[in-house]
Structure 1
Amino acid sequence: MKLEKKIELCDSLTPLETEIASYIVNNKDTIMKLKIQDLADILFISKSAIHRFVKKIGFNGFNDLKVSIAKESADLLENNSYINVNYPFQENDNPREIAFKLLEVYEKAVKDTFECVDLNQVKEVAQLIDTADMVDIYTHAHNSNIAENFKDKMLTIGRNVNCPNSFYNQRLTVLASNQNHVAIILSYSGKATFILPIVKKLYEKGVKVIQIGKAGSNYYSKYITYYLPISDSENNRDRMSQFYSHIAMQYIMDVLYACIYNERRKKNIKYIYDSIDYMDDRPTE
């Protein structure tokens, strides 16, 4: 995960640590030449303050931070190709060029999201969903397809998922929820207008809520139990389509399903095997 992303995802930085972060991000070349005492002298702070900061954002020490910055620089020099995820292909591109550029977008979406996600939280979320009596997914527009796909996957192992797809049904579902339900909110921007009234009411009813959206989109943290960030490289408005965010969202939902599947792997394998003859009634050769 890139340094800036590590800092962005750390929501417990003090004002002093924010100042340290700002200096490091804006002076990466200089940092590579400094010892920790040099940086402490420049910022008029103690070495221990720098140690606490680098630990908080996930490094073992100041040298570990410098190694990461050096690797980022090397990767940037090595990767001379640039793909604009908002406008990945041009007017004169032929089908082969379009296909290759979308391949690059998809690979980037998956890789960036893998680097964003907290895998310990993914495990906890999977266990929470696995033990719930009912899973309700709240979303709209194109993310509804991802919700329905997750529902189909869960049905193959005998687990029902509810995907209310209208304002009216969503609010009725909220009212019918209880503490045995788990709610999933899918919104790349985190700013969809349906979110706040839903999460507030779910919070009142004691329903645990999982939000999935781009890094930095958890605007209602008071009401959210778990927040799983995906990469934020796509612009919310200035884009050709949701190529990048769709793949990122689909990827994290597939990861969740796979982890849920593995919670009771033997049971799920048996369920699928026992269902084959009923679900596939095509004549056998």
Structure 2
Amino acid sequence: MDIRRRIRAGRGFTPTEQQLGNTVLALGERLQGLSIKELARLSATSIASIHRFCKKLGLEGYKELKVALARDAARDDPAEVDINFPFAAGERATEIVPQLRAVYESTLRDTAELIEPSALNRAAEVLDNAACIDIYTQSHNLYPAQMLCDRLLSAGRNATCHESPERLVRTALATGANHAAVAISYSGLNQQLATLLPILAERGCPVVFIGTAAAQRLHPGLTAYLTVSDREHLQDRITQFASHIAVQYALDALYGCLFARDYERSIAFLERSLPYTRLPGSDDAEPGQAHPRPAGTEARPSGTGPSIRP
């Protein structure tokens, strides 16, 4: 992960260090001409704070910080597509298709670097131990959230994903330590979170939060965090190209880790449901007939198949 992404992630930063990081990012190339004393003055911090800031980034000191920032700037592709406006008026498919591909590729690369495997495993463990998984989000994040809900149900996991604010609140009020919550907010500015998260905490429900590093800092103390790419502007954009694919990628990774924790059981439930859910004419299997299993898996003895979680 490049130094700017590590600064934006702000893992383990104190409020002073977050303020210092924001100043460093805002200064950009101008930082190269500043002394450590000048940076301390501009950021309203101290020289000692700058040294601690550099150490947390894994750097020896201020000089190494400037070198790392200059190296990252030199690696930037000047022709890199604009995440917020990936195409312009009059452009056709020959320009738009590769430019959107570049948006997706850079967003996936950033998100893959930001999601910590330990956090992903912890999140999957939390969901695996839950009797029911409740998903809390709103607006455009509802689409990937509802897809996650459908996938959880398809693997035999009890799950809910409501659009109505009233249903979300009532779901939170009815939850408990045997449930798990997935809260999705790219920016962290979802106004309902101020209502829902305290209720979930009071009810003892573990929460997996998916959003940018800045969003996570707005909601500290949750069970697990999956960090997504943060390069999309919250308002100055055509639409949510990057944030959508970042959230979808994080949710897909979470589902994959959860499915893999009990792969045999999940596959067995899919097989049991296929006679009821398959499309007519989609294959040659008759209702009730076994479907092919992935290579390397074995069928369970009769009567030992899994049931839907309570």
State the TM bucket, normalised to the shorter chain.
Answer: 0.7 to 0.9
1:72 lines up with 2:76 in the alignment: no
1:171 lines up with 2:165 in the alignment: no
Question: How many Å apart are 1:17 and its aligned residue?
Answer: 9.3
Are the structure 2 counterparts of residues 19 and 245 from structure 1 closer, same or farther at C-alpha, using a change threshold of 3 Å? closer
Map of 2:223 onto structure 1: 225
- 2 CA distance for matches of 1:141 and 1:96? 31
- 2 CA distance for matches of 1:194 and 1:21? 27
- 1 CA distance for matches of 2:53 and 2:239? 38
Question: How many Å apart are 1:272 and its aligned residue?
Answer: 2.7
Q: Which moved more, 1:61-70 or 1:228-237?
A: 61-70
Aligned-residue sequence identity (percent) comes to 30
**Structure 2, unaligned runs of 5 or more:** 41-45, 286-310
The answer as to whether partners of 1:178 and 1:206 remain within 8 angstroms in 2 is yes
Q: Residue type matched to 2:134 in 1?
A: D
TM-score by length of 2: 0.75
- 1:186-225 equivalent positions in 2, closer than 5 A: 186-218=184-216, 220-222=218-220, 224-225=222-223
Are the structure 2 counterparts of residues 266 and 252 from structure 1 closer, same or farther at C-alpha, using a change threshold of 3 Å? same
Give the RMSD, CA atoms, in angstroms: 3.4
- 2 CA distance for matches of 1:56 and 1:24? 16
Q: Residue type matched to 1:262 in 2?
A: A
- 1:1-285 equivalent positions in 2, closer than 5 A: 1-10=1-10, 11-13=12-14, 15=16, 50=51, 53-57=53-57, 59=58, 68-69=68-69, 71-76=71-76, 79-218=77-216, 220-222=218-220, 224-280=222-278, 281-282=280-281, 284=284
The answer as to whether partners of 2:31 and 2:66 remain within 8 angstroms in 1 is no
Are the structure 2 counterparts of residues 14 and 277 from structure 1 closer, same or farther at C-alpha, using a change threshold of 3 Å? closer
Q: Residue type matched to 1:185 in 2?
A: A
CA-to-partner distance for each residue in 1:192-218, whole Å, 9 max, x for gaps?
211101111111111112221222013
- 1 CA distance for matches of 2:184 and 2:207? 11
Are the structure 2 counterparts of residues 67 and 129 from structure 1 closer, same or farther at C-alpha, using a change threshold of 3 Å? farther
- 2 CA distance for matches of 1:184 and 1:250? 13
Are the structure 2 counterparts of residues 101 and 45 from structure 1 closer, same or farther at C-alpha, using a change threshold of 3 Å? closer
- 2 CA distance for matches of 1:255 and 1:278? 27
Are the structure 2 counterparts of residues 284 and 253 from structure 1 closer, same or farther at C-alpha, using a change threshold of 3 Å? same
The answer as to whether partners of 1:178 and 1:207 remain within 8 angstroms in 2 is yes
Question: How many Å apart are 1:190 and its aligned residue?
Answer: 0.9
- 1 CA distance for matches of 2:4 and 2:90? 35
Are the structure 2 counterparts of residues 223 and 24 from structure 1 closer, same or farther at C-alpha, using a change threshold of 3 Å? closer
Question: How many Å apart are 1:19 and its aligned residue?
Answer: 5.5
**Structure 1, unaligned runs of 5 or more:** 32-37
The answer as to whether partners of 2:8 and 2:21 remain within 8 angstroms in 1 is no
Question: How many Å apart are 1:140 and its aligned residue?
Answer: 1.2
Question: How many Å apart are 1:23 and its aligned residue?
Answer: 6.6
The answer as to whether partners of 2:111 and 2:228 remain within 8 angstroms in 1 is yes
TM-score by length of 1: 0.81
The answer as to whether partners of 2:209 and 2:216 remain within 8 angstroms in 1 is yes
**Aligned to 2:214, what secondary structure does the other structure show?**
coil
Are the structure 2 counterparts of residues 175 and 259 from structure 1 closer, same or farther at C-alpha, using a change threshold of 3 Å? same
Question: How many Å apart are 1:54 and its aligned residue?
Answer: 4.2
Q: Which moved more, 1:22-31 or 1:255-264?
A: 22-31
Question: How many Å apart are 1:125 and its aligned residue?
Answer: 0.6
Number of equivalences: 276
The answer as to whether partners of 1:196 and 1:220 remain within 8 angstroms in 2 is no
